[in-house]
Chain A
Amino acid sequence: MSNLIKNNAIVADEWTLVKLPAPAEETVRKQAGKVVIFKVTGEPAATPEQIEGTVIPENGKAIIPLTVWLARKEQLSARFAKGEIGVWVDSFELLEDLTDSVDDINRLPLIAINFPRFVDGRGFSMAALLRTRYGYKNELRSIGDVLRDQLYFMKRCGFDAYSIRADKSAEDALASLRDFSEPYQGAVDNPLPVWRRHARTSHHAASAGRVFSRHEDEVD
Chain B
Amino acid sequence: MYIYDDIDQRIVDERVAQYRDQTRRYLAGELSDDEFRPLRLQNGLYIQRHAPMMRIAVPYGLMNARQMRKLADITRRYDKGYGHFSTRQNFQLNWPKLEDTPDILAELATVQMHAIQTSGSCIRAITADQFAGVAPDEIVDPRPFIEVMRQWSSFHPEFAGLPRKFKIAVNGAKNDRALVLTHDIGLELYKDGDGKMAVRVFVGGGLGRTPILGSKIREHLEWQHALTYCEAILRVYNLHGRRDNAFKARIKILVKALGAEEFGRQVEAEWVHLKDGPSTITQVEYDRVASFFVPNRYTALPDHDASFDAAIASNPAFAAWAKRNVHGHKVPGYRAVTLSLKKTGVPPGDVTHNQMDAIADLADRYSFGELRVSHEQNLILADVKLGDLFAVWEKAREQALATPNIGLLTDIICCPGGDFCSLANAKSIPIAQAIQEKFDDLDYLHDIGDIELNISGCMNSCGHQHVGHIGVLGVDKDGSEWYQITIGGKQGSDASLGTVIGPSFASTEVPGVIQKLIETYIANRTDEERFIDTVRRIGVAPFKAHVYAKEAA
Residues of A in contact with B (beta carbons under 8 Å apart): 29, 31-32, 36-41, 118-122, 124-126, 128, 132-133, 147, 149-150, 152-157, 176, 179-187, 191-196, 198, 200-204, 206-207, 210, 212, 214-215, 217-218, 220
Contact = CB atoms under 8 A, between A and B. Distances in A.
Interface of B: 3-5, 7, 10-11, 14-15, 18, 22, 35, 38-39, 65-66, 69-70, 110-111, 121, 151-162, 227, 235, 238-240, 242-245, 247, 273, 277-279, 282, 284-285, 287-288, 291-292, 294, 364
A181 B291 contact: no
Nearest to B35: A147
Given A31-B245, A118-B161, A125-B235, 12 more contacts: A32-B245, A120-B161, A124-B161, A128-B158, A182-B10, A183-B155, A185-B227, A193-B278, A200-B5, A202-B292, A203-B3, A207-B3
A212 to B, nearest CB: 5
Contacts of A192: 278
15 contacts: A39-B243, A120-B243, A121-B159, A152-B157, A157-B158, A179-B14, A184-B154, A187-B156, A193-B152, A195-B285, A200-B285, A201-B288, A202-B287, A217-B66, A217-B111
Contact of B291 (A133, A179, A195, A202): A202
A182 B7 contact: yes
A181 B152 CA distance: 15
B253 to A, nearest CB: 12
A204 B66 contact: no
Nearest to B36: A149
B123 to A, nearest CB: 11
B244 A36 contact: yes
- In the A-B complex, the 10 residue pairs with the smallest Cβ-Cβ separation, listed nearest first, are A121-B161, A156-B157, A38-B243, A203-B291, A153-B157, A201-B5, A195-B285, A206-B3, A184-B151, A203-B292
A161 to B, nearest CB: 16
Contacts of A40: 242-244
A156 to B, nearest CB: 4
Contacts of A29: 244
A156 B39 CA distance: 18
A41 B278 contact: no
Contacts of A206: 3-5, 292
Contacts of A184: 11, 151-152, 154-155
Contacts of B158: 121, 124-125, 128, 153, 156-157, 187
A87 B353 CA distance: 58
B110 A217 contact: yes
Contacts, number: 154
Contact of A124 (B10, B153, B157, B364): B157
A214 B239 CA distance: 49
B282 A119 contact: no
Given A191-B277, A195-B285, A179 B156 contact: no
Given A32-B245, A40-B243, A118-B35, A124 B160 contact: yes
Given A36-B244, A121-B160, A218 B110 contact: yes
B30 to A, nearest CB: 8
Nearest to A155: B157
A183 B12 CA distance: 11
A124 B35 contact: no
Contacts of A156: 157-158
Contact of B282 (A125, A195, A217): A195
Contacts of B18: 176, 179-180
Given A39-B244, A203-B294, A212-B66, A181 B10 contact: yes
A107 to B, nearest CB: 23
Identify the interface centre among B111, B121, B278: most chain A CB within 10 Å of its CB.
B278
A207 B160 CA distance: 33
A14 B235 CA distance: 33
Contacts of B245: 31-32, 36
Contacts of A186: 277-279
Contacts of A193: 152, 227, 278-279
Nearest to B282: A195
Nearest to A184: B151
Nearest to B41: A119
Nearest to B150: A184
A29 B131 CA distance: 48
Nearest to B285: A195
A149 B151 contact: no
Contacts of B243: 37-40, 120, 122
A180 B285 contact: no
A119 B163 CA distance: 9
Contacts of B160: 121, 124, 150, 153
Nearest to B70: A217
